[in-house]
Amino acid sequence: MLKIQNYINGELVSPVSNTYLDNYNPSKGEVYSLIPDSENTDVEKAYNAAADAFNGWASTPKEERSRILLKLADLIDENHEELAKAEATDNGKPLFLAKMVDIPRASANIRFFATAVIHNPSESYHMEEGYTNYVLKQPIGVVGCISPWNLPLYLFTWKIAPAIASGNCVVAKPSEVTPYTAYLFSKLCIEAGLPKGVLNIVHGLGTSAGDAIVSHKNIKAISFTGGTATGRIIAKKCAEEFKKVSLELGGKNPNIIFDDCDFDKMLKTTLQSSFANQGQICLCGSRIFIQEGIYEKFKTAFIEKLKSHKVGNPFDTETKMGALVSKDHLEKVLSYVALAKEEGGKILFGGNRLTIEGFENGYYMEPTVIEGLPFNCRTNQEEIFGPVVTLIPFKTEGEVLSYANSTPYGLSATVWTQDVSKAQRMAKNLDAGIVWINCWLVRDLRTPFGGVKQSGVGREGGFRALNFFTEPKNVCLKY
Ligand code: NDP
């Protein structure tokens, strides 16, 4: 059986304890590989390698760092097919999605930061009294990057690329649930000639390997994407050591549909924003608010579309939704369907686990649509992170705004209307870090990315990510 290895000091190595965890293929519900169950000692080795590499890497000209990263991006493209298959196998997502989104975005992340670092401007301020100030942006040192399972290589590279491009050395941990593409990526780092120790990948559980990274006294900054509960633990630990921390956390995003929207465009995109990646994207719109005038029309058309929304083997070209990522997660999502029923919700479509012929042990579930729940019940307030949406009618702009802003989260929001003034009023008043008007999931990598309230702290994207991974030092010179 395939044994995934840690990547430390430029080499693929076994964990110190030589113990491994099972890694499941969720489409079959079967163990197909083993991953290191790394602990403090592995993180310490990774830290030492990163610390040894730091001076050399930080003083390597940016152009040279960029050249190596661009080579790495090219290697991702050259291995597109293998990486996409690995992602679909490890995560359960449809192969077409991994090919179209996950893997191209991984190389785009690296290419973006490899070039952005060359153009990242610095500031200078000139004082009339004969002083001039200029700002040096210096790498922090050894930093930690921790990423989740829903977009494995996509979010892993989104963090490590700006960290490395800025001259830091990294100890990174992908999710234990989806480690495979990070392992393949470590082989590409070797092939690209990334100097040893610049990136170290430690596989294992969040509560052991992840916690060892966060708690390490000399790892000076943590960039984390994952659930809000984990983010809270990490924020507390970072506060104790005054570590720099960036947190990209959960969401319960509103999808707001006004009577005057372009109905066909809205319907097509709402299908994606509800169920893409089995609803396991932090930006999915799980609460759908529909203005009264088109509520019935929307409901009928949406359900009709779902009848042909095929759930099944991720490798089948007809498949729109694959398997959920794990048995635990499937059970969690199903428990929310049960909760919705207890709270008085009516299941309009789906709601059940699915058995797929030939894949009987896989973690499949029907796309699920629920109506009849108040905006403030638990189903409409807590993140489910699966293929479950609720439909909620509304009358006025003010009413829907109060519903939309009622959760503890504030990651993204989508608004459908042809009225440009209304769209902009909504955008201004929504509690969200990202608002999409008449579109969804369109990303320009230069723009700020992140959430408000319990959806996160700080922003990724563009120069902001490079600035997170550097310390600005002001130098004041008398002439
Ligand atoms: P988790 O918070 O469970 O895990 C995220 C990462 O943190 C994993 O690598 C995990 O390891 C690790 N981890 C868990 N506990 C600790 C700990 N105590 N110390 C250090 N590391 C730890 O999130 P999920 O993987 O379940 O991802 C889903 C969540 O991520 C959802 O809430 C979703 O909204 C959010 N998300 C947010 C995004 C954003 O940009 N705002 C984007 C994508 C997802 P292990 O897997 O081994 O437990």
Distance CA 453, CA 134 (A): 34
Cβ neighbours of residue 149 under 8 Å, at least 6 residues apart? 91, 175, 177, 178, 325, 326
| Contact indicator for 32, 21 with CB cutoff of 8 Å | no
User: Three-state SS across 302-333?
Assistant: HHHHHCCCCECCCCCCCCCECCCCCHHHHHHH
Distance CA 179, CA 201 (A): 10
Distance CA 261, CA 274 (A): 18
Phi, psi of 269, rounded to the nearest 5 degrees: -75, -35
Atom 34, ligand 1: residue with shortest CA distance:
250
Report pLDDT for 185: 98
Atom 11, ligand 1: residue with shortest CA distance:
206
Distance CA 407, CA 375 (A): 9
Distance CA 416, CA 437 (A): 6
Give me the mean pLDDT over the 156-184 stretch. Answer: 98
Atom 35, ligand 1: residue with shortest CA distance:
226
pLDDT class for 388, splitting at 50, 70, 90? very high
> What three-state secondary structure class fits 194?
coil
Identified catalytic residue from 39, 87, 248, 383 = 248
Q: Please give the distance, rounded to the nearest whole angstrom, from the Cα atom of residue 326 to the centre of ligand 1.
A: 14
Atom 37, ligand 1: residue with shortest CA distance:
249
Can you tell me which atom of ligand 1 is nearest the CA of 411?
A: 41
Q: Please give the distance, rounded to the nearest whole angstrom, from the Cα atom of residue 225 to the centre of ligand 1.
A: 6
Q: What is the pTM of this model?
A: 0.97
Can you tell me which atom of ligand 1 is nearest the CA of 451?
A: 41
Report pLDDT for 146: 98
Q: Please give the distance, rounded to the nearest whole angstrom, from the Cα atom of residue 296 to the centre of ligand 1.
A: 37
Q: Is 358 exposed, middle or buried (0-12, 13-18, 19+ CB in 10 A)?
A: exposed
Q: Which of 102, 150, 181, 326 has the most ligand 1 atoms within 8 A of CB, as the residue to mutate? A: 150
Atom 12, ligand 1: residue with shortest CA distance:
206
pLDDT in tens, 81-101: 999 999 999 999 999 999 999
Name the DSSP letter for residue 208.
I
CATH code assigned to 254-445 = 3.40.309.10
Chain-centre distance of CA 469, in angstroms? Answer: 18
pLDDT in tens, 428-438: 999 999 999 99
pLDDT class for 352, splitting at 50, 70, 90? very high
Q: Which two tokens stand for residue 139?
A: 């790498």
| Contact indicator for 173, 210 with CB cutoff of 8 Å | yes
Can you tell me which atom of ligand 1 is nearest the CA of 234?
A: 19
Cβ neighbours of residue 66 under 8 Å, at least 6 residues apart? 114, 115, 117, 118, 165
Name the DSSP letter for residue 240.
H
Q: Which of 40, 175, 459 has the most ligand 1 atoms within 8 A of CB, as the residue to mutate? A: 175
pLDDT class for 28, splitting at 50, 70, 90? very high
Q: Residues of the chain with pLDDT > 90: what percent?
A: 100
| Contact indicator for 5, 13 with CB cutoff of 8 Å | yes
In this structure, are strands 254-257 and 470-478 parallel, antiparallel, or unpaired?
unpaired
**How many of the other CB atoms lie within 10 Å of CB of 121?**
8
Q: Please give the distance, rounded to the nearest whole angstrom, from the Cα atom of residue 266 to the centre of ligand 1.
A: 30
Please state whether 331 falls in left (phi above 0), alpha (psi between -120 and 50) or beta: alpha
Q: Please give the distance, rounded to the nearest whole angstrom, from the Cα atom of residue 229 to the centre of ligand 1.
A: 9
Nearest to 2 by CA among 29, 44, 51, 36: 36
Q: Residues of the chain with pLDDT > 70: what percent?
A: 100
From residue 169, give the alpha-carbon distance in Å to each of 91, 145, 218: 28, 10, 12
Mean pLDDT of the chain: 98
CATH code assigned to 2-249+455-478 = 3.40.605.10
Report pLDDT for 283: 98
Q: Please give the distance, rounded to the nearest whole angstrom, from the Cα atom of residue 226 to the centre of ligand 1.
A: 3
Atom 31, ligand 1: residue with shortest CA distance:
227
Report pLDDT for 456: 97
**How many of the other CB atoms lie within 10 Å of CB of 18?**
8
Phi, psi of 478, rounded to the nearest 5 degrees: -95, 135
Cβ neighbours of residue 73 under 8 Å, at least 6 residues apart? 107, 108, 110, 111, 114
Q: Please give the distance, rounded to the nearest whole angstrom, from the Cα atom of residue 290 to the centre of ligand 1.
A: 31
Q: Is 182 exposed, middle or buried (0-12, 13-18, 19+ CB in 10 A)?
A: buried
**How many of the other CB atoms lie within 10 Å of CB of 166?**
26
Chain-centre distance of CA 364, in angstroms? Answer: 22
Asked if the domains at 2-249+455-478 and 254-445 fall in one CATH topology, the answer is: no
- Listed by start position, the domains of the chain span 2-249+455-478, 254-445
**How many of the other CB atoms lie within 10 Å of CB of 308?**
8
**How many of the other CB atoms lie within 10 Å of CB of 240?**
8
Q: Which residues line ligand 1 (CB under 6 A)?
A: 146-150, 155, 173, 175-177, 205-207, 210-211, 214, 225-227, 230, 233-234, 248-251, 282, 383, 385, 411, 451, 456
What's the longest Cα–Cα distance across the chain?
79
Give me the mean pLDDT over the 243-270 stretch. Answer: 98
Name the DSSP letter for residue 475.
E
Distance CA 181, CA 246 (A): 23
Report pLDDT for 312: 97
pLDDT class for 4, splitting at 50, 70, 90? very high
Report pLDDT for 208: 98
Active site residue 284: no
Report pLDDT for 88: 98
Active site residue 383: no
Report pLDDT for 293: 98
Identified catalytic residue from 189, 238, 261, 282 = 282
Distance CA 454, CA 247 (A): 10
